[in-house]
Structure 1
Amino acid sequence: MRAGPLLVITVLFILLVLSLTAGVSVGAAPIPFATVWSIVANKVRPDTFDVVWSSGQESIVWDVRFPRAILAALVGAGLAISGATLQALTRNPLADPHLLGVSSGAAFGAILALVHTGLILGLLTVPLFSFAGALSATGVVALVAHLTRSHSADRMVLAGVAVAFVFTALGNLLIFLGDPRATNTVVFWMLGGLGLAQWSHLIYPAVVLAGCLSILMLKARELNALAMGDETAATLGIAVTRFRLLLFVVTALVTGVMVAFSGAIGFIGLMVPHFVRLLAGGDNVRVIPLSAAVGTLTLIWADIVARKIMTPQDMPIGIVTGLAGGIAFILILRKN
């Protein structure tokens, strides 16, 4: 491996460790960095360090903040790679899971599970309903594009915007018709939050992220060809329609699962790929893994800000990402 990529990987790993440490340490009850990793080490291998901390500190670190920080890392990476893929797939710099209706469909499915059906399938109910909603929204976008002959990337984005409005309206209708006692929970969930993170839940977004990221990295060169135009991709032997369908399904899967566990968090999928391309160029072989890494760091720090800005209450993380992302996007527009 060349020195450049090795250096980048090393720097990103160090930043990830420092960010996770800060995510676990910072909060209404600050805990020293050394104590954080001593508790983690003792959980992984008992009696590694002498116990000089309270049981309350141990519970905060291991049961509350550490799984929350890991969930932030997984969700940030998932939304970022979804946005990077959709932007290349549609050849539109504004494309992201929200703009194309994927997030709205995922939110619709999750609201249906939370308000109307209950956990009929156990812990998998919300993720499965959320994925089904995301996949349904993706299918409707494809159908609308086909019926209206919107085969160009720009017109497909317009179809996605229309579908997003429809699914958002249907989700609001479900909230209106549902039990008023569940409204506060659903509204907080729609604004994005990581407060319900649990160790037992993390396996689902982790497995989905690993699988989808692997597929997207393997298909990155083909995605480069598709980003140059359907004709160019076809001349290189790519089955354009099948390949586009595969990528839509992958992005729907990763978005649906992430939204199910974190709620609707905006601007990560839109902003992170732009920031990565400013630093690393437009080659998706680099953009996709770097988007995952930067998305991870971004959402961890957004969660830290969300927890500190209104201590001891948690501000919905979607508010933080929306404000920061909107300002950053304006600055990028002004620069380029």
Structure 2
Amino acid sequence: MNLKAGSLVLGLLALGVLLIVAGVLVGSSGLLGLQDDGASLILWQIRLPRSLGAWCAGALLGLAGATAQGLFRNPLADPYLLGSAAGAGLAVALTLALTGLSLQASGTVGLLGLTGMAFVGTLLGVGLTLLLARGVEQTLRLLLAGVIVGVVLNACTDLVTLRAPDILRGMQAFLLGNTALLGWPSVAIMGGAVLVAGLAAWAASPALDALALGEATARSLGVPLARMRLILIGAFALATGAAVAQTGIVAFVGLVAPHLVRAATPARHGALVLLSALAGGALLLAADVLARGLLAPQELPVGLVTALLGGGYLLVLLYRRGGPRR
């Protein structure tokens, strides 16, 4: 890791700490101090785990985005590429329709059940993609299989919501992203996923460096591509599944975070994965603080904020790169 990348790590860590402090102090009811027991309870049992959970979810999406873009050698790849989000959405829709639960009032047991089903759905979507692609050897086949699986599973989700229109409100909260229900169990789950997926992606990052030179070159360098792809897809699926299961579908974080890092400093994939995770955590937490404070006491869906910010960034990037040439 070069000096510039090291400085960026320290800067993103400091930004993350500042945003966590802001997330603890800022809510839909405004600034909050420690004047009484009720305020202390809100700070330490609601706002702090929510802020830490939002950072962890963003870190998972940033890590997954950097891994996907390196694996598919496509800067437009995002964490939802292999049918993971579509699988999670279908699983949540089926659970809501069959059990009558709601995201807002299902209680701890119900929320744990929804989280578990969303994760199972994520694994189902990725598994179907791998089955349709006949393994991990062909990158283009994997990409096309992910698109097909996503379209089919999204159509199935639409059928479920048509049959059970009462779940539309809950599904809307899931599809727009929701950090309001994050607690200490969510922080523990996503923190563990960040550690495991991050270590796996970092260990396999030399394969991403070799793949950037082309598959033929990577093979000539002796890189075991099939095994490395399997490890990377496993890390990618774990990171995406853990984030989606806890926060729903949050747009653009996994796509934009690696772009911001590449714009700030050139880095090999080992550093890029770490920096993208830190940038993704800061992005989602900043969006969460904005979602709470912009229209207080009403909260905006965090996925709506990330879509506006991420879409605006990509439009500016597109304009700069596609401007008139002389």
Report if TM-score (shorter chain) is over 0.5.
yes
Q: Secondary structure at the match of 1:306?
A: helix
User: How large is the Cα RMSD of the aligned pairs?
Assistant: 2.6
Residue 30 of structure 2 corresponds to 30
For residue 321 of structure 1, report the CA deviation from its aligned partner: 0.9
1:128, 1:257 within 8 Å by CA — same for their partners in 2? no
Determine what percentage of the aligned residue pairs are the same residue: 35
Is the partner of 1:238 in helix, strand or coil?
coil
Tell me, yes or no, if the aligned pair for 1:135 and 1:249 is still in contact at 8 Å. no
Preserved CA contact (<8 Å) 2:5 2:271: no
Matches within 5 A, 1:310-329: 310-329=295-314
State the match for 1:105 in structure 2. Answer: 87
Whether the 8 Å CA contact 1:175–1:183 is kept in 2: the answer is: yes
Query: Does the 8 A contact of 2:64 with 2:79 survive in 1?
Result: yes
> What is the DSSP-based 3-state SS (H/G/I as helix, E as strand, rest coil) of the residue aligned with 1:192?
coil
Within the alignment, does 1:161 sit opposite 2:144 as a pair?
Answer: no
1:78 aligns with 2:66: no
- Which residue is equivalent to 2:133? 145
Question: What is the total number of aligned residue pairs between the two structures?
Answer: 315
2:88 aligned partner, one-letter code: A
SS at match of 2:30: coil
| Closer/same/farther in 2, CA of residues 25 and 305 from structure 1, 3 Å limit | same
Q: 1:233 aligns with which of 210, 218, 233?
A: 218
Match of 1:275 among 256, 260, 264: 260
Moved more, 71-80 or 163-172: 163-172
TM-score of the superposed pair, with normalisation by structure 2: 0.87
Unaligned runs of 5+ in 1: 40-52
* 3-state SS, counterpart of residue 77 of structure 2: coil
Residues 69, 300 of structure 1: 8 Å contact kept = yes
Q: C-alpha distance in 2, partners of 1:203/1:236?
A: 39
TM-score computed with the length of structure 1 as normaliser: 0.85
More divergent stretch after superposition (204-213 vs 73-82): 204-213
What is the rounded CA distance, in whole Å, between the counterparts of 2:162 and 2:48 in structure 1?
35
In structure 2, the gaps of 5 or more residues are: 322-326
Q: Equivalents in 2 of 1:3, 1:284: separation in Å?
A: 16
User: 2:291–2:301: 8 Å Cα contact kept in structure 1?
Assistant: yes
Listed as ranges, the matches of 1:282-297 within 5 Å are 282-297=267-282
The reply on whether 1:17 has 2:3 as its aligned counterpart is no
Q: Once the 2 structures are TM-superposed, how far is the Cα of residue 174 of structure 1 from its aligned partner? A: 2.4
Higher RCO structure, 1 or 2 (CA under 8 Å, sep 6+)? 2
Amino acid at match of 2:251: G
What is the Cα deviation at residue 2 of structure 1? 7.5
Specify which of 262, 286, 305 is matched with residue 301 of structure 1. Answer: 286
Amino acid corresponding to residue 164 of structure 1 in structure 2: G
